[in-house]
Structure 1
Amino acid sequence: MKQSLSALLSEALRQRPDLTLVKVADGAKDNWTYLANELPEGHEVVDFYHAAEHLKKAFDLSYGENSNKSREKFITYRHILKEEPEGVEKVIKALAYQHKRHPRRSKLKTELEYFRSNRTRMNYAEHLSHNLPIGSGVIEATCKTLVTQRMKCSGMRWRHPGGQGILTARSLIQSGMFDNGWKLLAVTYCAKVTKVGMDNVIPFPMQKGDLEL
């Protein structure tokens, strides 16, 4: 999948070198290792809504899950993180203070380190000022329409070959690339068929009530 994505992006950027490349993902290290190695150019952005989930968890750990104080702090710092220049630094400062107050809460430290390790990918106000995306919601919605709505209907079970075939064809259709993609698929699945001579065909006698096709 990564090789296919890299090839597709390379071709798109070759055709449109004027495009701005923005790499949006959650905080998983594997995502950023791949993106840095395969696509070293462009902007790196941690999906804002994933970051907000971590922020909510941090304040829940500080003030109690879903407490009024937690919700109040979350709303305030979510706005700061998204709208204010270097908002992530203010978030880190606030969480560092909470960790100092509660040094034994290891999960709170984990949330603090999440923001520290991704601080260069959380310049949301700057990206928004340049009309650049800060969320991966469009891609997640694509996963729903591409995969979930087709593959997870009641009673469906898939083996790898059949499921992959459906997803390949569906992705080509939804991306508007079916004609070009089918040319490649047709070559792969072409097989020589020998036409049977009529002399070798034995007709089956029709019985009353048979459906003639």
Structure 2
Amino acid sequence: MLGSRTSPYLQAKLVLLAAEHVFAHVPPLVESLLGIRVSTTQVYRRTQAAVKALPAAALDAPCPGVSADPGPVYGMVDGSMLFTDRGWQEVKVGRIFQHIAPAIAPAIAPAGAMGPSQYVAQRGLFAIFTQRFEQALPPDAAADQVFVTDGAQWIHRWLQDAYPHATHILDFYHVAEKLAAAAQAAAAPASWLPAQYARLWAGQSSAVEQAVAELLGLAGSVAAQLGAYLATNRTRLRYDRFRQRGLLCGSGPVEAAHRTLLQVRLKRSGQRWSNGGLDRLVCLRSALKSPQMYLLTDLFKKPTA
């Protein structure tokens, strides 16, 4: 069985496996690969101890590798719902990365190279999350900062206040979903929706507002709400200008992070977490998926590991 004097190397492996697999699945893996018997309790305790030992300040240090060149630095924020002893709770997720667009911007979604991502994930009050995010991506960082987010008002208000000089983009696909819902509700002609997508992509949001207002069969309250949504976000809907700069116009990277960062480990069938257990696994996975794995490996290089 695993003893208190087990090598730091094996302890690190246990924690890394626990970050990817259900605790009860780790002992069979270790025994089949290394011929060493461990218990689920030992895996759980070693993992909890390792997370508690991670230096909190270093976890939220400015994103490494981010500079003024060669491409803009993106910040994307969204929420993911996970099941706990107290019901469904939201874990706010921030993803920070640098994207280098191709020399010639393509007609649809820009390709290019995406650098390593740093994640900030936090359950609970948004004030704690925003403070941590601003440490990871300082508002005064010497970089071309770009934020692509959905229509959540708290996110938009915070980013406008904290990052007033950044480029703020409303995720194209969230807007497209709202227009699609309006077209379906009004039984609009088949040509109506593609025409609005083309206008929106060309930066003609005012024309889209007019088309919504004139859409026959759409309830007045729905038309007014959608029109106000488009009017309020006009500056974030200039996709023509954004595309000319080779910028991303969709929040796909943070949508993908819900699965790759959280759900693949924390939202499996039948799983339910205590608040503390959830917080520690979120912290561990954020560190491992960011360029911060060294924080964990450095723990096990210490004599006290």
Distance change >3 Å, CA 145–CA 104, structure 1 → 2: closer
SS in structure 1 at match of 2:148: strand
Deviation at 1:163, TM superposition (A): 1.0
Distance 1:47 1:92 in 2: 17
Which residue in the other structure is 1:34 paired with? 158
- Map of 1:129-168 to 2, 5 A cutoff? 129-168=244-283
- Map of 1:22-101 to 2, 5 A cutoff? 22-62=146-186, 64=187, 69=189, 71-82=190-201, 84=202, 86-98=203-215
Q: Report sequence identity in percent.
A: 26
Which residue in the other structure is 2:110 paired with? none
CA contact (8 A) 1:22 1:44 kept: yes
Deviation at 1:32, TM superposition (A): 1.1
> Of residues 113, 124, 130 in structure 1, which corresponds to 2:239?
124
CA RMSD of the aligned region, Å? 2.4
TM-score by length of 1: 0.74
Deviation at 1:102, TM superposition (A): 5.8
TM-score by length of 2: 0.52
Distance 1:103 1:46 in 2: 24
Distance 2:219 2:266 in 1: 45
CA contact (8 A) 2:213 2:223 kept: no
- Map of 1:1-12 to 2, 5 A cutoff? 1-10=129-138
The structure with the largest helix share of the pair is: 1
Distance change >3 Å, CA 175–CA 164, structure 1 → 2: same
CA contact (8 A) 2:147 2:167 kept: yes
Distance change >3 Å, CA 73–CA 103, structure 1 → 2: closer
Distance 1:181 1:118 in 2: 42
Distance change >3 Å, CA 114–CA 124, structure 1 → 2: same
Which residue in the other structure is 1:204 paired with? none
Distance change >3 Å, CA 119–CA 152, structure 1 → 2: same
Equivalent pairs, count: 174
Which is bigger in relative contact order (C-alpha 8 A, separation at least 6)? Answer: 2
List structure 1 segments (4+ residues) > 4 angstroms apart after TM superposition. 101-104
Which residue in the other structure is 2:55 paired with? none
Segments of structure 1 that go 5 or more residues without pairing to the other structure are 194-213
Segments of structure 2 that go 5 or more residues without pairing to the other structure are 1-128
CA contact (8 A) 2:146 2:169 kept: yes
Which residue in the other structure is 2:228 paired with? 113
Distance change >3 Å, CA 60–CA 162, structure 1 → 2: same
The structure with the largest strand share of the pair is: 2
CA contact (8 A) 1:169 1:178 kept: no
Distance 1:8 1:182 in 2: 21
- Point out the structure with max Rg over C-alpha: 1
Deviation at 1:93, TM superposition (A): 1.7
